[in-house]
Chains A and B, each alone.
Chain A
């Protein structure tokens, strides 16, 4: 007994030494997560991407992640902790980590940083995000086709450009199918509160909406829509489990290919600071299978996806008329330019609601 225990201990010691030796040669890659990896949404998708990264380059790298890191000053400490632990490439995966990431980046010029959804960059700090509004456009087409009441329900988190551009893209698409389509918008003023998201979904359905779309993180709205026999779109991740007969599709954050590409660049020594804003063509996100809809609607959705991917269809193609009835200036030729979309703070014509703070 004792002998075997000793052997085991020796074995463990040996194993420990081996992994320490090889770890020294491996590139250390760190991740900062906003939520728990089990949130089934935003953070969950980032961790799936990290797992894909490990699967692809596992022999050359070692990954570490810190979850539940609050945005703000606390984040700075967590990022620095990853630097001190020897991570050479660090992904900070939420908008609120922007300033903390930049502070740490300035302090450690030899470490490379990747910040999601922000706009501040450094020679050693890149930014990356996805053109989710493209997916919202496809959802708008489907929603208008599938809605019997002609009223869509939209649960927003905060009235920031990313969310507003999503609402506009949805409505612009829906109006091409049904010019009189209506949307009811409820702001939850939170990214994550399953109870409140469920209450918002209930309110929208009780007021006549029959297709629910959300820009909040939990599957609560999907679950309520399923309970009430309505239709809904998922958010961030696959939510069909919460509404097998309800989910039409879902915008899936697929960061994997980007993470792999950036780590490969780091390994090759060719990493440089960049601003990546990828759409369907660059696989920054994907659409979940089109389900619970007739074949012609499915075909329409697939065609739209193909056209957007090929660059033939732009969700914000001009002319675009604002809520005030005036046409919006077209800075990108035949469509709005990236700056206008990234800073969008107006509703398009056809939305009866008032944008908060306007």
Chain B
């Protein structure tokens, strides 16, 4: 029983940075912008988040630093890819390279320092319920926030007029423009939201997951978040499934190794990727079929005034 609870707790912690970063990227891509710089924005968020928390002693300030850093990084992308209409793929890749270098520079002075990680919720009685108590009532704030975030994004995209307009920009920017919507401004906001989420997801790593900063500590999580967006066919509900599934298989394969299941560890390490791809592809085939990508994803839009 305790082991099951421990596994669920580890799964939630491992999935949360992926979920937060992927949620932000989903919004950006729904507006028609492909920002491949998630990894770069995350790692800068991690460095700045740690710096903020170390300097002030507050996890909340750290998280804000991460959000601001991610947003600033995304503005660099917006300036190039939206303002100057540079190729989005190239700009995104450049942003990742920039982020990795920049985070090393920012974080250099903080390597080897420790902070007290984010506190976990504790409600007497409720948190002590066996099995589900700590899972539901004993997490850190980031995990509750990530759930609220994805629900909020779902509501925004499908239940508000602004969300409809954002999706319109992603599906056909010429029509959206003809209807009088400021395509570039909407996309800029979407990219900034993506940056803020990536920054927060990055900050989660040194603030709650492993409470120290080391260059390169995101270790490819930004790329996994990007892949999750594609395999969830740009739908928030499936994104949740994908992120938690990926986290679950990652943790379970580690446990399976500890139990000595006897399956080669190299295969086990590939399993989260395989399982997530297969499940999400099956899910999107069963429901809608065909491509569900925003039609204008990655295309350059230049306003004719």
Measured CB to CB, the residues of A under 8 A from B are: 35-36, 38-40, 68, 153, 159, 184-190, 192-200, 202-204, 206-207, 209, 218-220, 223-224, 241-242, 352-354, 356-357
Contacts and interface: CB of A to CB of B under 8 A. Distances in A.
Given A194-B210, A223-B212, A356-B266, A199 B111 contact: no
Contact of A186 (B6, B221, B254): B254
A194 B205 contact: yes
A131 B148 CA distance: 52
Contacts of A352: 260
Contacts of A242: 114, 212
Contacts of A186: 254, 257-258, 265
Nearest to B117: A227
Contacts of A357: 264, 266
A187 B269 contact: yes
Contacts of A203: 10, 251, 254-255, 257-258
Closest 3 CB pairs of A and B: A187-B265, A38-B111, A193-B219
Interface of B: 2-3, 6-7, 10, 14, 17, 104, 107-108, 111-112, 114, 205, 209-212, 214-217, 219-221, 250-251, 254-255, 257-260, 262, 264-266, 268-269
A154 to B, nearest CB: 10
A189 B17 CA distance: 20
B214 A196 contact: no
Given A242-B114, A356-B266, A219 B254 contact: no
Given A203-B10, A206-B6, A220-B210, A194 B217 contact: yes
B111 A241 contact: no
Contact of A241 (B3, B10, B107, B114): B114
A218 B214 contact: yes
Given A36-B104, A36-B216, A195-B205, A202 B6 contact: yes
20 contacts: A38-B214, A184-B260, A187-B266, A190-B219, A194-B210, A194-B212, A195-B17, A195-B217, A198-B210, A202-B6, A202-B10, A203-B251, A206-B6, A207-B255, A207-B259, A219-B212, A220-B210, A223-B114, A223-B211, A356-B265
B78 to A, nearest CB: 27
B10 A196 contact: no
Nearest to B251: A199
Contacts of A193: 219-220
Contacts of B257: 185-187, 203, 353
B260 A35 contact: no
Contacts of A224: 210
Given A194-B219, A198-B210, A40 B111 contact: yes
Contacts of B209: 194-195, 198
B251 A195 contact: no
Given A38-B214, A195-B14, A206-B6, A184 B258 contact: yes
